[in-house]
Structure 1
């Protein structure tokens, strides 16, 4: 058997490789650029654009993470604004404040705050307070009332000390 001679690779250096189209390269680059800009726009809209909810979350994150401080008010019993004056409300109210200093200031102003709370509560009727929306509205009014009372003092940042209000009891009879 005879050995076969190895086949040499034939290289043709005289011919240049075929020219690639620049149009194809430009179309690919434009498509990548459009996708990148679309992704960046979507990320900005979803992550960078903060509505009211984002601001509220951001505001709460800046508050100190310490344990809450509570100011418990004595229970309130008031006649409701009903035509026959036969209905009354008994409610326990507890304010949540940011720190002990705010709690101390609130305790000093308790007579003013209690008087204003009594006026607000006695202006309500059963229809105002029988649904959750009415109770939530009352809670908002009570927080605003306490903030306004503290703000009337010379310290303008005092109103930021009231975080929330909670009902410890709520009886309409």
Structure 2
């Protein structure tokens, strides 16, 4: 019987180990899932924190620099009923040092284009704020046009009137 007993004993051992094998398998599946979630969460955190800097960090703006168009502009306005004048002090704003240098180099050409533009205006058009703002927009387009034509940087942000008198 001992031969039978020894033959039965090995058969009983795998059945006893079967529940332990299933629990180990479950344990490995659970550990694998937790590890997968941890790696996925860590990867997502790293990607969102390092992928792109915040907009305010990415755009560290240089300070605005102003170029004064001196002397003041004095032009006859295009009024048909009377002789009227416009006197304007103009500053050009940029944050780009290369554009500032281009403004200095192209000042005579810019001044010419602005004189021609200002001379086309009427006093009625400049009475309202909206008319002055339209003139600023047109002046900005003229300045950029001169710089582009010369192949210079044209990052002018604004044309600013520091004084504007019609008479």
Do Structure 1 and Structure 2 share a fold, with TM-score over 0.5?
A: yes
TM-score (norm 1): 0.60
Q: Name which of 148, 160, 165 aligns with 1:166.
A: 160
Contact conserved, 1:79 with 1:85, CA < 8 A, in 2? no
Are residues 1:94 and 2:88 paired?
no
- The list of structure 1 runs, each at least 4 consecutive aligned residues, that deviate by more than 3 angstroms after superposition, is 60-64
Alignment of 1:50-65 (within 5 A): 64-65=60-61
Once the two structures are superposed, residues 119-158 of structure 1 have per-residue CA deviations (whole angstroms, 9 ceiling, x without a partner) of 0000000111110110010000011111111111235xx1
Mind listing any 5+ residue stretches in structure 1 that lack a counterpart?
A: 1-57
Please report the RMSD computed on the Cα atoms of aligned residues, expressed in angstroms. Answer: 2.0
* Structure with the largest fraction of helix: 2
Once the two structures are superposed, residues 13-43 of structure 1 have per-residue CA deviations (whole angstroms, 9 ceiling, x without a partner) of xxxxxxxxxxxxxxxxxxxxxxxxxxxxxxx
- Residue of structure 2 equivalent to 1:109: 106
How much has 1:77 moved relative to structure 2?
0.4
TM-score (norm 2): 0.62
C-alpha distance in structure 2 between counterparts of 1:78 and 1:61, whole Å: 45
C-alpha distance in structure 1 between counterparts of 2:92 and 2:142, whole Å: 11
What count of residue pairs does the alignment treat as equivalent? Answer: 112
C-alpha distance in structure 2 between counterparts of 1:114 and 1:61, whole Å: 37
Mind listing any 5+ residue stretches in structure 2 that lack a counterpart?
A: 1-54
Q: Relative to structure 1, is the Cα distance of residues 68 and 107 closer, same or farther in structure 2, using a 3 angstrom cutoff? A: same
